[in-house]
Amino acid sequence: MTENRSGALLRAILFVLAAALLITAYYWVHKPFDAISVRRYAGIAVDLLAPALLVLIGCGVGRAVWMAFAHRAALVSPFTRAETLALSGGIGLALLGFVGLALGLAGLYNRIAFLVALAILAVLFRRGLRDTARDAVDIVRSIRFESPFVSFLIVFSGAMLLLALITSIAPPTSWDAMVYHLVEPQRDLALGRMSGSPENFYLGFPKAIETLFGIVMGVTGRDSSTAPVHFWTGILALLAAGGLARRLAGSTRAAWVTVALLIGSFNVWQLYGWQYVDLAIMLYGALMFSVLLAWDASRQIGWVVLLGALGGAAFGVKYTAGALLLAAACVLLARHPRRFLPNLIALGLSAGVWYAPWALRGILLYGNPIYPYLFGGLDWDASRMAAFSQSGRGLISTGQAWEIAALPFMATIMGFDYGPTYSFTLGPFLLTAPFLALLVWRWLAPVARTAFVIGVLVLVPIYAYWAITALFTGIGMQTRLVIAMLPVSAVLGALAIDALDRLGEKPVNLGFLARALLVLTLSFGSLTVLSKVVDVRAVSAVMGGTSRDDLLFQNLASHPATLARLGALPAGSDVQFLWEPRSYYCPPTVTCRPDVLFDRWNRQRRAGLSAEDIFAAWRASGIDYFLFFRTGFQAYPDFANAAAFDQEFPAAVQAHLREVWTAPDGRYTLYTWPDA
């Protein structure tokens, strides 16, 4: 039986009208959105999209530069699509840093200048942007759940990255971000230019990534958009390492093992949600390994020039990247000794050119191209260097020098978050899996064997640098400072694990056993990550269930509220912090002078000044208030090798200053002059 068409049309109209009325009435009462939630979701969109667009522009610029250089140098790229995308990003983000630096030195560090510069770059390099976007889409489309093990690795890695991305757009709470990684862009944006800072020597370090933080913060006006820049830089590092593993092993399984080994390390995962710079060093470590392999296959000088460029760009992120340049030089010497001198010159000149803009900044603002090392500079001396490096507090002084003989294993077993030595949770296999090569060497393909030889030549100098600094300094023990080795280790570990299947299934299927252990340990690691996400309440804060103030209190106790209280002081007040290095949440109406090395008091006592002389000098310098961080004073009694001088402070402050208020939890006390 057929129904006439007018009846069917009428029935459809009635259904649509009824559904529209019902839904309208329901959501009139049960509103899914209000003004506050709309603003919150709009903010989330800005925090996610602005950094992604910045990195996309960087990749587009870098792609054009790389393609032009490869054509001129007659280089035939062996790279996978993922490696090419990562290489483009490594080059392009360095160039964007130069743009931000130029604007900062020219006094144009502001939203309008940033938007104009980015728009010009987007137009000029639109083809590179289009090709980059196409490659990114193709990489995502190429993901295949080809086996239960690979499916687990994909789901695990995706879940860890999603949690990290959510964490990245929560309000900043990480220590170094509040001491200097965000203080630098905040300060430069407020001034509209870059300038030297005698109060905070950390701001004198090269600032390639912090400059990108400044650009995105200036464009969006939101500090929650900064950590995603670091997140996307880390994604490029995973593409570089995973793409290389896939090329060497001829297996997507090896690629996903590489990615999972890296993101499965708790502290590597944690960096994806922080306003730090270390993931950029991880990116350059992976890229330089790829380029070294390409050079070894062809011995063309163009690869050495590219190698130097990446090393110089990495040095512009963090001085510890110098270990990468040392490792590159060792590979050039070991693999082609007859051409070592011209190769070394090409490496050094190229690195020098790519670091030169940051050297210029150091000279102009701090009087030293590698401030504060070697040549000193603004408000720097030998005692401060000793305090910063924690000289004499390494493994020798603690009676642990024997650990150097088994450094990868000791850092794996004894390294944990905020631990006393290595301070980094790696996971059980990230540094140890490459040793499986001792079992599978005969079964490795020739290209994988070459990768192991080059990889060992890269890792040994970095291990040597790590060992020497760990022996003699407290700061040198931290695994994070040699993060450049992690992608190399992950790739080699993935190659070794992949080769286990070639040993056969009898008497023990070691390939299956290794995969089972990976699933088990990665699952354990995911529980730690989930616990951390719940503990810091990042998801609740992002979705509006926890206010910004509550989240800050949850993670930082009374610190943000105490600094906010300084906003009630007379405008223009000068506040000297004592034993408190974090100044990011300082109100803009006052000047906060952080005590970044916990030595504002004892440094002058060591120089021979009496308490009366010190307070007189402080008063003459225009300081109005003193914020004493009692917890810091108690936690770091001998940080600057001045415990005896530190213990004099409580009596001295009572004799020379007047208490204004103390925080309810007793952590902070604000003082001023007795007659103020």
Residue 546 CA neighbour count, 13 Å, CB half:
19
574-578 and 668-672 strand pairing: unpaired
Nearest Cα neighbor of 395 from 337, 329, 273, 477 is 477
For 56, 60, 449, the CA distances from 220, given in Å and listed in that order, are: 16, 21, 48
Ramachandran area for residue 205 (φ above 0: left; ψ -120 to 50: alpha; else beta): beta
* Residue 623 pLDDT: 96
Nearest Cα neighbor of 488 from 255, 239, 280, 289 is 289
Do 439 and 270 meet the contact criterion of CB atoms below 8 Å apart?
Answer: no
* Residue 543 pLDDT: 83
Tokens of 242: 């995973």
Q: Which residues contact 346 (CB under 8 A, 6 or more apart)?
A: 301, 304, 305, 308
pLDDT along the chain (676 residues), means of 10: 72 91 88 79 94 98 97 96 98 98 98 98 96 96 95 98 96 96 97 94 96 98 97 98 97 97 97 98 98 97 98 98 97 97 98 98 96 91 84 85 91 88 93 96 95 97 94 89 97 97 87 96 95 89 87 93 96 97 97 93 88 95 96 76 77 95 96 93
Specify the DSSP class assigned to residue 662.
Answer: E
* Residue 464 pLDDT: 94
Q: What is the pLDDT of residues 19-49, one digit of tens each?
A: 999 998 998 888 777 777 888 889 999 999 9
Q: What is the pLDDT of residues 400-459, one digit of tens each?
A: 899 898 999 999 999 988 888 899 999 999 999 999 999 999 999 999 999 999 999 999
* Residue 593 pLDDT: 96
B/e letters for 532-548, b = 16+ CB within 10 Å, e = fewer, are bbeebbbebbbeeebee
> Which position has the token pair 């959105």?
33
* Residue 639 pLDDT: 63
What dihedral do alpha carbons 94, 452, 440, 259 form, nearest 10°? 0
Do 463 and 405 meet the contact criterion of CB atoms below 8 Å apart?
Answer: no
Reported residue count of the chain is 676
Specify the DSSP class assigned to residue 433.
Answer: G
* Residue 1 pLDDT: 46
Q: Which residues contact 513 (CB under 8 A, 6 or more apart)?
A: none
Nearest Cα neighbor of 594 from 567, 629, 552, 568 is 629
Q: Which residues contact 307 (CB under 8 A, 6 or more apart)?
A: 288, 291, 292, 295, 328, 347, 350
Give the residues across from 473 on adjacent strands. 391
* Type and span of the H or E element at 153: helix 148-168
